[in-house]
Amino acid sequence: MEVFTIASKKAAAAATETAKETEPKKKPVRKKAAAKPAVDTVKPQLKILFAASECVPFVKTGGLADVMGALPQEIAKLGADVRVILPLFREVPDAFRHSAADGNVSPAGRMRHAVDFEVEMGWRRQYCGIEALEMNGVTYYFVDNRYYFNRSYIYGSGGDEAERFAFFCRAVLNALQPLGWKPDIIHANDWQAGFIPALLEIQYAHLPFYANIKTVMSIHNLQYQGVFDRRAVQDLLGLGDSLFTDDKLEFFGCANFLKAGLIYADYITTVSPGYAEEIQTAFFGEKLDGLLRARHETVSGVLNGIDVERNNPATDKVIAETFTAEDPAGKAKCKAALQAELGLAQDADAPVIAMITRLTSQKGLDLVDRVISEIMETGAQFVILGKGDAKYTSLFSWAQCNWQGRVAARFEMNIDLAQKIYAGADMFLMPSLFEPCGLSQMISMRYGTIPIVRETGGLRDTVLSLNEFTLEGSGFTFFSYNAHDMLEVIRRAVSYYKDKPEVWRKLVERGMTADFSWKKSASEYLSIYNKLT
């Protein structure tokens, strides 16, 4: 097994596989700028560059895109100069692209060609163009290389994934000088951008233009790390053997993009305080827990928010009837419409339990599999929307046939149907094995749908279990990853729904009026940035 020995600007200990700390090796420290005068001055506008592989509304495969679509705009509202850079995938809609018909003038809301240059990738020199677009107070840059990004998929199953995103990391850093814009902070997100902090420290920091640029590395899901052949990555990025030691870039004989970012970033964040704690343990740490414990002083969790404008039952044009916390009558019409659309029995008294999820073991579907018959014995109806593993599509296909009119399964990605489910369901089930943050529980509460969750990661940060004595709380929770613990909590929720309508109405109102916006999160990130500069 590998022993991690890490040093950082603030972390001074490292953990071995047995969780014992050892004396760390020293990490080179960049020269700091001269101390500022001890007088109150107006701080210059902070310049922040977000680097990520996806961003709403341009390209999306998961929650990272939602974060990149909302967080930069919210930080821009606080007065920072915020820009986002991502690959120009084929999936980016033509509505945002500059076409030949536009001539030499780029219409509003469309890309303009900013700069182009070549990027060294091993023995090759590859073209790189940067297209720019301004929208909602944020400048978006798109890294254009058709060989790497003009494909029918966003992420592949291996092949040249290391080369594609090594190119992206190198291109981000090489683009800054031609663009004539130097950020104070580069905020890299997930493994696809993981080598940006490493390359900046190893190969660029001695150059005057790049001096004193600070980096933040965000983990959105620690399971995905970008682990590839060491020699291939070395050749692509020009990295010497001395960098591939256990306290730097080496990872069980391979190169790990995410580890590279975690080693060299000035600060590390993840998407909830609960997940920040969990990933420093062996069970959740995915073999990087020792590293994260060593850097615990520069690791924090900042809870994601949701788009409260888009997810607003008072204005949502997709749902059957709008409603508010003060006037929730429209929710009953949304429930009836959902039952009709999905072929469920028109029964206003039957609680509808919903799941909108990827069909993977992470999402706790094995627990549902174990007790689905008992869940149906409560008299509830069950709705699931999502795509994923065949074993789970088989499970819910069988359930839909076995309980006709009471179970509805849709194996697709359907944004409009998801909104209808949030609005029409009574309960939202998230029994996840682990959940870095989770957005669905927050969206469901926004629509008056009460969450039933396992106490892990962001779920325990956002859902407080109902206290039967004080009636405080916002949902129903269980701790152990156990099917019958989940079942008992579902039974408890159903009993409150059927027998204590006044308490249920208070839960609905409490969830609908909770603040899940990005404002607080943006302020927390800005505080981190200010401490680094």
Read off the tokens for 156.
Answer: 């592949």
Q: Are residues 64 and 204 in the same domain?
A: yes
Please tell me whether residues 133 and 166 are part of one structural domain: yes
My answer on whether 253 and 350 are in the same domain is no
Percentage of the chain lying above the pLDDT 70 cut = 91
Q: For position 270, which CATH number holds?
A: 3.40.50.2000
According to the 3-state scheme, what is the secondary structure of 50-89?
EECCCECCCECCCHHHHHHHHHHHHHHHCCCEEEEEEECC
Please indicate, yes or no, whether residues 356 and 446 belong to a single structural domain of this protein: yes
CA 239 to chain CA centroid, Å, is: 29
Residues 395 and 490 reside in one and the same domain: yes
Residues 149 and 214 in one domain: yes
Judge if 155 and 292 occupy the same domain: yes
- In this prediction, residues 249-268 reach a mean pLDDT of 97
Residue 277 located in a structural domain: yes
Q: Is 311 part of any domain?
A: no
For residues 275 and 460, give the distance between their C-alpha atoms in angstroms, rounded to a whole number: 9
- Which is more confident, 413 or 133? 133
More confident: 146 or 123: 146
Q: Is the pLDDT of residue 26 over 90?
A: no
Q: Are residues 419 and 474 in the same domain?
A: yes
User: Residue 72: pLDDT above 50?
Assistant: yes
Phi, psi of 452 (to 5 degrees): -120, 110
Residue 70 CB burial class (10 angstroms; 0-12, 13-18, ≥19): buried
- The predicted pLDDT at position 68 comes to 96
CB 71 within 8 A of CB 271: no
Would you state the pLDDT for residue 62? 83
pLDDT of residue 406: 98
Q: Tell me what pLDDT residue 109 has.
A: 81
Residue 19: the pLDDT is 38
Question: Is it the case that residue 30 has pLDDT exceeding 50?
Answer: no
Least confident of 62-66, 183-187, 481-485: 62-66
Mean pLDDT value across residues 108-137: 94
Q: Indicate if 481 and 528 belong to the same structural domain.
A: no
Check whether residue 142 and residue 263 sit in a common domain.
Answer: yes
For 113-126, write each residue's pLDDT tens digit: 999 999 999 889 99
Q: What is the pLDDT of residues 379-432, one digit of tens each?
A: 999 999 999 999 999 999 999 999 999 999 999 989 899 999 999 999 999 999
Read off the pLDDT band of 171 (50, 70, 90).
very high
Residue 47 located in a structural domain: yes
| H/E segment holding residue 384 | strand 381-385
Instruction: Please give the pLDDT value at position 413.
Output: 84
Considering the domain boundaries, does residue 10 fall inside one?
no
Number of domains within the chain? 2
pLDDT(23) > 70: no
Top-confidence residue, 143 or 62? 143
Expressed in angstroms, the distance from the first to the final Cα of the chain is 38
Does one domain contain both 474 and 525? no
- pLDDT per residue as tens digits for the range 57-69: 999 988 899 999 9
Where do the H-state alpha helices sit in 99-194? 146-149, 161-179
Q: Does some domain include residue 31?
A: no
Residue 318, in any domain of the structure:
no
Write out the residue range of the structural domain in which residue 339 sits: 330-513
- φ, ψ of residue 314 in degrees (nearest 5): -80, -20
Residue 14: pLDDT above 70?
no
286 in the same domain as 339: no
| Predicted local distance difference test score (pLDDT) of residue 100 | 63
Q: What is the pLDDT of residue 43?
A: 57
Write the DSSP assignment of 452-502 as a string of letters: EEES-HHHHHH-PBPPTTT---SBEEE-SS-HHHHHHHHHHHHHHHHH-HH
| CA–CA distance, 274 with 286 (Å, rounded to integer) | 16
d(CA 219, CA 74): 20
28 occurs within a structural domain:
no
Task: Quote the pLDDT of residue 21.
Answer: 37
Quote the pLDDT of residue 108. 74
Is residue 133 one of the residues assigned to a domain? yes
